[in-house]
Structure 1
Amino acid sequence: MQQLEDKLIQWRRDFHQYPETGFMEMRTASIVASILDKLGFQLKMGKEVMSEADCMGKPTEEETKKHYQWAQKNGAIDDYLNPFSEGYTGIVATLDTGKKGPIIAYRFDMDALDILESDSNEHFPHNEGFSSKVHGKMHACGHDSHTSMGLGLATLLIENKEELKGKIKLIFQPAEEGTRGAKAMAAANIVEDVDYFIATHIGVGVPHKQFVAANSGFLATSKLDITYDGTAAHAGGSPEEGKNALLAAAASVLSLHGISRHSGGATRINVGQLEAGAGRNIIANHASMKVETRGETSEINDYVKEQVTSVVSGAATMYQVEHNIETVGEALSCKCSLDLAGILHKCAEASPDIEISQLEDNTPGGSEDATYFMNEVQKNGGKATYCVFGTELAAGHHNEKFDIKEDTLLPAVNILFQSVKVIMEQ
């Protein structure tokens, strides 16, 4: 196992140095695909496993081409790069044992964040020489670890193939940040035949050497890009000729934060960014806002989103400007299948590396688009859960000093592998 642990750390540190944000994971995906292919998995990649119509918040064609060139120069595997050249960077790797049995799927996300990594002497990746080589981008949420764990699980599956039955799918997902990538993969029907689905995360507040088998506390969410377009005019000479997009945006910001809460559960609303205007003496003809809604259930989130639409259109009418609302990310609420979680819980309890295993934690928190996969599997009669491997964090998720304990990687892989063996006997 020492050799596998060394590989896990090597993979994680390599991915950490070359972070790629959503739909840009070309270098990462090409390396993952090359390893999985050499191991003997059947691969489907790119548009084969992603619905173009369901991709949200995808970078422009120009940005995508530029990043493709960057990937070519920074360690991407040329023989596997082409399927990802247009920014459809998902992978589904299948191991068919040739024996009758269940179909099990595991999801691992690959994307990084637009964060400048710390160069502090106290920051472990900086001291060890594997901090981000890409200015303004870093793996600040552990997805480099998740990708490595997926490759580690793939390695154990192949090494023990003769003991297994059924099929195992390993899903390497782009663009989890901003909840953008899973919907497109789910819409491509990659989990329609899956009996058991497991998504994983590292950290998220779970202490080192602890494990949560079912995290159902994710809030449904919508990420919205909103624009107002009016008419520019001289603010001193002819203000009456202008249609002020800035005022429409400002009015909507205040009203959005005043949306009534819902009696059915928790709600959230946040305007995270507002940009408007071109100069102090010009009636602003354009304004843009980045907004997110959240709800304890998908239905509650839909309620908040509907209120946002009403507020935004009302402000547009009031100031006689045009408006547009684009959904650039979305995730559902979901409840884990506790019988499947129970299997993972027992596997963790049997692990010498886990001190405390918890069956369920429903504390409301952030959002996760793995819920698209989970809902799809459950809708078709299958079971799904979202588990968390605890680790010691140097700083919180989405922080410039984020880092994990690398001794979490191998135990996590072993527990996932044990879950395969137990599920196959169900």
Structure 2
Amino acid sequence: MTLEKDLIQIRRHLHQFPELSQEEFETTKFIASQLLKSGIKVRPTILETGVFADIEGTHPGPTIAIRADIDALPIQEQTNLPYRSRIPGKMHACGHDFHTAAVLGAAYLLKAEQAELRGKIRLIFQPAEEYGAGAQKVLRDGQLKDVDAIIGLHNKPDLPVGTVGIKSGPLMAAVDRFKVVIKGKGAHAALPQNGHDPITASAQLITALQTIVSRSISPLESAVVSVTRIEGGNTWNVLPETVTIEGTIRTFDPEVRTQVKERFYALTEQITGAFSSKAAIDWFEGPPPLMNHAAVAEAAWVAAEQYGLKVIEPELSTAGEDFAYYLQHIPGVFAFFGTNGDEDWHHPSFTVDETALIEAAYFLYHSAKELLLQQTAITKIKWVNRV
């Protein structure tokens, strides 16, 4: 078989047997077996899922990590693919099967040139990206302690095959989640004066929260505040005691992130108080903004063009990605790779164009080699490794 056919076969196997965050046990075994068959040394880990491996060259040089995420989503697949998910209610609807196969492809290519490599390649097959905690577990496990730079990619359905999006600076948003329980006082719907209606309070709050973006954030900055769930009451003629709202906030700048949170708390407390209700806020801080480093992004850009890919500067994405945690510790780049799909991430009919798979593998391979060669580009980055 050719490498392209091998990678397609690997990706289809993974697609048929998706596993959710922190449950990637069979996926872990499969990846490890593929590496060991190729003679690639698997590293020890205390994590239950995820695979880490090294390809060490015979010449001294930096250590460059290549990362893939391996988990799936709790989504029922709605494609007619012959290799669609065999696990009810679980699906690789974000293309992590594509990422895993692409990194395996890059690993095979780099292994074949191991004797010529100047430095070391660290392979990171990360669990629990969708859960938002996988990258932090990898960091705590020490898998990036001696790494000088890291590369990752994500399939991009709205980009054509053969196109890669690379930029320095912000690429993806910080992700925060909120849950607010508004407690009022229940009453008969015909006698609202006897209660404190949390539904009215929640309606006013939801409307007011939209003013955070329109009136509290500079027009030159960006943020998203989305209320995605509201629950309250259980019948038509009773004012309930409580209403719960949940949602998400996305930002690209740490100062804006702080500003939005402060304004959110102020509006929630003041508006619910105005309706004689009380609010209990749970705030769940997710990954920070994903900030690519200029020198590493430039090396990946050069590698992509030399390989023959069309390189563009992509639009910012308000989606989140826990690869951002790595970039708080070491320099790196995260790229968008065109897969020409019909549906976007997390859709039950999500697909990728498999002709992009071999190109993604070669992009990672060439980018890693470029970074191994450009030791000066890495050492010039004034960055303290805080892993």
Pairwise TM-score range, normalised by the shorter structure: 0.7 to 0.9
Structure 2 gaps of 5+ residues are 375-387
Equivalent residue number for residue 381 of structure 2:
none
Q: 1:90 to 1:304 in 2, by over 3 A?
A: farther
Counterpart in the other structure of 2:351: 403
Structure 2 length-normalised TM: 0.83
1:217 Cα offset (Å):
4.6
- Judged with a 3 Å threshold, the aligned counterparts in structure 2 of structure 1 residues 307 and 156 are, in CA distance, closer, same or farther, namely same
1:11-63 Cα deviation digits (max 9, x unpaired): 11122122233333333233223333454323244xx36xxxxxxxxxxxxxx
1:212 corresponding residue in structure 2: 165
Matched, 1:177 2:130: yes
1:285 equivalent to 2:241? Answer yes
**Alpha-carbon separation, structure 1, partners of 2:10 and 2:65:** 22
Question: Please, which of 306, 311, 330 is the counterpart of residue 357 of structure 1?
Answer: 311
1:333 and 1:300 map into 2 onto residues whose CA distance is: 14
Alpha-carbon spacing, 1:222–1:98, altered in 2? closer, same or farther (3 Å): same
Give the conservation status (yes or no) of the 8 Å contact 2:228–2:246: yes
Aligned Cα RMSD in Å? 2.9
Give TM-score scaled by structure 1 length: 0.76
Cα deviation for residue 112 of structure 1 reads 2.5
Contact map agreement 2:40 2:53 (CA 8 A) in 1? no
Aligned equivalents of 2:177, 2:162: Cα separation in 1: 37
After superposition, where does 1:8-87 map in structure 2 within 5 Å? Answer: 8-38=7-37, 39-45=39-45, 48=46, 83=48
Larger proportion of strand: 2
Structure 1 residues 145 and 316 mapped into 2: Cα distance closer, same or farther (>3 Å)? same
Shift of 1:367: 2.9
Where do 1:82-93 residues align within 5 Å?
Answer: 83=48, 89-93=49-53
Q: Which residue of structure 2 aligns with residue 6 of structure 1?
A: 5
- Output the CA distance in 1 between the equivalents of 2:197 and 2:287: 30
Change (3 A) 1:247 1:102: same
Whole-angstrom distance in 2 between the partners of 1:241 and 1:183: 50
- State the alpha-carbon separation in 2 of the partners of residues 25 and 274 from structure 1: 32
Contact 1:246 1:285 in 2 (8 A): no
Q: Check if 1:100 corresponds to 2:60.
A: yes
Offset, 1:104 = 0.6
**3-state SS of the aligned residue for 1:290?**
strand
1:188-247 Cα deviation digits (max 9, x unpaired): 553343211111112253222122333645343233241416377452698777665544
Percentage of pairs with the same residue: 29
Residue matched to 2:179: 226
Task: Give the match for residue 163 of structure 1.
Answer: 116
Partner SS state of residue 297, structure 2: helix
- CA distance change for structure 1 residues 357 and 99 in 2, over 3 Å: closer, same or farther? same
SS at match of 1:424: helix
> Cα–Cα, structure 1 residues 278 and 92, in superposed 2: closer, same or farther, change >3 Å?
farther
Report the Cα distance in structure 2 between the residues aligned to 1:108 and 1:303, rounded to whole angstroms. 33
Deviates more, 1:218-227 or 1:271-280: 218-227
Q: Which amino acid in the other structure matches residue 311 of structure 2?
A: S
Letter of the 2:42 counterpart = Q
- The structural deviation recorded for 1:317 is 3.7
Q: 1:140 to 1:364 in 2, by over 3 A?
A: closer
